[in-house]
């Protein structure tokens, strides 16, 4: 008989419900709000979406990589292994500012959440 970690089952159920709630909050207006101001004061809906994205597990989590500080930023992903460097995603665009890269990460997370 396989041992099942009940805590993992409960978390998976909770996360599935949260994903549906968060998906419902994402609109074109919410994406435009983030594009206009990735840092700073956000609406309640955008704050909830960002808080959900921040709680994601470390392996595969998107980060900003400064290829050339103040000029060229790319999106990378954490390995989840201590001491192992993040990898720059091959399909990542180049962004001129950190804020633009933050919005690029936001759009990737939205795409991943929607499953498209």
Summarize pLDDT for 5-59 with one digit per residue, the tens.
889 899 889 999 999 999 999 999 999 999 999 998 999 999 999 999 999 888 8
Q: What are phi and psi of 52, to 5 degrees?
A: -65, -45
Q: What is the pLDDT of residues 89-116, one digit of tens each?
A: 998 899 999 999 999 999 999 999 998 6
Residue 4: per-residue pLDDT: 75
Residue 1 pLDDT exceeds 70: no
Per-position DSSP letters for the chain, written without gaps between them: -----HHHHHHHHHHHHHHHHHHHH--HHHHHHHHH-SSS---HHHHHHHHHHHTS-STT-EEEEEEETTTEEEEEE--SSTTPPPEE-TTPPPBSSHHHHHHHHHHHHHHHHHT-
| 31 phi and psi angles, rounded to 5 deg | -65, -40
Predicted TM-score (pTM) of this structure: 0.87
pLDDT at position 25: 97
pLDDT at 88 over 70: yes
């Amino acid at each position: 008989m396989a041992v099942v970690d009940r805590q993992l089952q409960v978390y998976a159920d909770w996360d599935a419900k949260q994903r549906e709630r968060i998906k419902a909050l994402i609109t074109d207006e919410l994406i435009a709000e983030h594009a206009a101001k990735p840092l700073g004061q956000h609406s309640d809906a955008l704050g909830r979406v960002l808080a959900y994205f921040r709680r994601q597990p470390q392996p595969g989590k998107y980060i900003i990589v400064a290829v050339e500080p103040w000029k060229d930023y790319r999106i990378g992903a954490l390995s989840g292994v201590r001491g192992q460097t993040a990898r720059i995603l091959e399909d990542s665009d180049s962004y001129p500012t950190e804020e633009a890269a933050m919005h690029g990460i936001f759009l990737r997370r939205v795409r991943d959440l929607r499953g498209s």
